[in-house]
Amino acid sequence: MLKNVAVALVDGVAPFEFGIFCEVFGLDRSEQGLPVYDFAVCAAEEGPLAMADVGFAIAPAYGLDRLEEAELICLPADRQAPVRAYPEPLLDALRRAVDRGARVLSVCSGAFVLGAAGLLDGRRCTTHWMHAPALARRFPRAVVDPDVLYVDEGQVITSAGTASGIDACLHVVRQEHGAEVANTIARRMVVPPHRDGGQAQFIRRPLPRTACDTVGEVIGWMARHLDEEITVEQLAERAHMSPRTFARRFLQETGTTPYQWVLRQRVLLAQELLEATDETVDTIAGRCGFGNAAALRHHFLRALGTTPNAFRRAFRGPQAAA
């Protein structure tokens, strides 16, 4: 279970992206029963380090030696990233960390640090869509996907611009501590508890938004009826659209398909029920719309890389255990 987190800063770091790591991993929320991390901010260069274009600087309390004990090393955006060179001691520290089994997580142009360390070679990754072409040119062995919010390649996690860093951090929390902890932190931050990594970075709206140009009410209905069979034809009828038009509008407004949206919500509901109740896997499968335990196991394993029973053993809350 994750306990030790460090952030590595270079000169010109972006303050918002740096703040994401502080908010998710650096605050003591033990009064809510949430995990407290051994959190450190580390300087990769001589300080004080300027925050990009906003008129203040920061003097981190730790140097690169602190990275040697970190289980997760976070890399915020860097305004000079597409062209700058990074200190070799920082790159060496990142390579050693991954070699010993630690994870690294970048937000936005922080991916360029990972690329310079060779950690993106042969790996799928992402960054802000504006920087994706430059990342692909500079690190041709990286498999750059400009159309997703974040990519989890096991030890190397990369995310797109700004708010997608929150999604990636909560994704790590959910993996390490379960859905209840991640959802509680999200509520404290007043952000959506989950956005799937494969969701589009930005949503194109080729038509002007009007009162009827939305699938919001249908999405609300979907969330309340996850235990039922849901078809595009049903949803289109509720939205007073043809199935083809509804499917196109849904993708435009959510960045995913109705099927993938429902599937992900069902898996999230299953996670919550496995953590918080004593219900059998069969019962939970029915409540989540999977029909039977075999179907739940199949989709749970594909989405989370583990089985429902293994997830329950790892993240079962104290109330359910009682």
Q: Please choose, from the candidates 51, 316, 81, 14, the residue with its C-alpha nearest in 3D space to the C-alpha of residue 177.
A: 316
199-256 residue pLDDT tens: 555 433 333 343 444 687 888 899 889 999 999 999 999 998 999 999 998 888 887 8
Q: Which of 122, 120, 87, 84 is nearest to 105 (CA)?
A: 120
Residue 73 has pLDDT above 60, yes or no: yes
Each residue of 28-62: pLDDT tens digit? 999 988 999 999 999 999 879 998 878 899 999 99
The neighbouring-strand residues paired with 107 are 159
pLDDT at 212: 42
Q: Which residues of 277-301 are buried (b: 16+ CB within 10 A; e: fewer)?
A: beeebeebbbbbbbeebeebbebbe
Comparison of pLDDT for 126 and 192, the residue scoring more: 126
Give the per-residue SS3 of 29-75. CHHHCCCCCEEEEEECCCCCEEECCCCCEECCCECHHHHHHCCEEEE
Please give the domain boundaries of the chain with CATH numbers for all domains: 4-189 (3.40.50.880), 206-322 (1.10.10.60)
Give the sign of the dihedral formed by CA 80, CA 46, CA 100, CA 174. negative
Q: Which tokens sit at 191?
A: 């952000």
Residue 248 neighbours by CB under 8 Å, 6+ apart: none
Mean pLDDT of the chain: 88
What band does 317 get if pLDDT is binned at 50, 70 and 90?
low
With 50 as the cut, is the pLDDT of residue 282 above it? Answer: yes
**318, pLDDT greater than 60:** no
**pLDDT per position as a tens digit, 128-150:** 999 999 999 999 999 999 888 99
Tokens 């898996």 belong to residue: 267
More confident residue, 189 or 113: 113
Query: According to the model, what pLDDT value does residue 192 have?
Result: 73
pLDDT at 295 over 50: yes
Please, are residues 86 and 106 in contact by the beta-carbon 8 Å criterion?
Answer: no
Tell me the two tokens of residue 57.
């600087």
Q: Is the model's pLDDT at 194 over the cut of 50?
A: yes
Residue 74 has pLDDT above 60, yes or no: yes
When pLDDT is cut at 50, 70 and 90, the band that residue 161 belongs to is confident
pLDDT more than 70, % of the chain: 91
**What pLDDT does residue 203 have?**
39
What lies within 8 Å, CB to CB, of 101 at 6+ separation is 155
Mean pLDDT calculated for residue range 144-159: 93
